[in-house]
Amino acid sequence: MNRDVVAVTRTGDYTLRLRFRDGAEGEMDFAQFLSFKGVFAPLKDPAEFAKVVVNTEIGTICWPNGADLCPDVLYSRITGAPLPGQH
């Protein structure tokens, strides 16, 4: 899918720069986006958050503890494009 994440770069404690398959890219502050509860609780530690990688099988970012985020939501947040099925 064009909305798959293909690259991630950490630019701050909770800030990531994402690039998508269609070439769109941008930066996002995850401290404003994540609740840091449940599976995301360990990511409150910047050292754990820094372990983010791109999982090419599912086309999104993920962490070693199994946390991941929907690429469509990330794409929408960065580009302003509506989520699939929304107008």
DSSP sequence for the chain: -TT-EEEEEE-SSSEEEEEETTS-EEEEEGGGT----GGGGGGGSHHHHTT-EEETTTTEEE-TTS-B--HHHHHHHHH-PPPTT--
Task: Say what the pLDDT of residue 31 is.
Answer: 95
Query: 19 pLDDT exceeds 80?
Result: yes
Query: 39 pLDDT exceeds 90?
Result: yes
Task: Say what the pLDDT of residue 86 is.
Answer: 74
Task: Say what the pLDDT of residue 1 is.
Answer: 72
Report the share of the chain in percent with pLDDT over 70. 99
